[in-house]
Amino acid sequence: MPRDIHSIRNIGIVAHIDAGKTTLTERMLFYAHFIHRPGSVDEGTTVTDYDPEEQERGITIQAACVTFDWRDVHINLIDTPGHVDFTAEVERSLRVLDGAVVVFSAREGVEAQSETVWRQADKYHVPRIAFINKMDR
């Protein structure tokens, strides 16, 4: 059965490296009941970092999309890389987003790559919400 286009949202998780994008993605999937237990980046058990090189390095290399339903909305959640070497991958993702969650680490603060992805989102007129992560450290 086709979905009503008005009930589909493409949401990206963007930030600098090690801000906690993939961990946040895992929590969102857990609370949406898509997974029964959040995976761990350190253990290589996350849904979106499935490539062996990503698991070995503990970083996202290519954007990965996971779909789930939240209330009456079908969400395509896109976990993007944070390393500066993969900036083009983030930009490709931003072109299709309805909105983005920009993750900032309370410990490291705003880093150069944070500013880069913010400017990229400006370029594509992507609405954003800031998420402050790692406040417990």
Backbone conformation region of residue 18, classed left if phi is above 0, alpha if psi is from -120 to 50, else beta: left
pTM: predicted TM-score of the whole model, two decimal places: 0.89
Residues 8/99, Cβ–Cβ less than 8 Å: no
DSSP SS3 for 120: helix
**What is the model's pLDDT at position 132?**
97
| pLDDT tens digits, 4-59 | 888 999 999 999 999 999 999 999 999 999 999 998 888 888 888 778 887 888 87
DSSP E strand boundaries for the chain: 8-15, 64-70, 73-79, 99-105, 128-133
The structural domains of the chain, with segments of one domain joined by +, span: 5-133
Separation of alpha carbons 32 and 122, rounded Å: 29
For 103-125, how does the pLDDT look when each residue is reduced to its tens digit (9 = 90+)? 999 999 999 999 999 999 999 99
Question: Which CATH superfamily hosts domain 5-133?
Answer: P-loop containing nucleotide triphosphate hydrolases (3.40.50.300)
Band (1; pLDDT cuts 50, 70, 90): low
Residue-wise pLDDT for 67-107, tens only, equals: 999 889 999 999 999 889 889 999 999 999 999 999 999 99
Q: Any residues with CB less than 8 A from the CB of 26 and at least 6 apart, and which?
A: 35, 38, 39, 40, 46, 47, 48
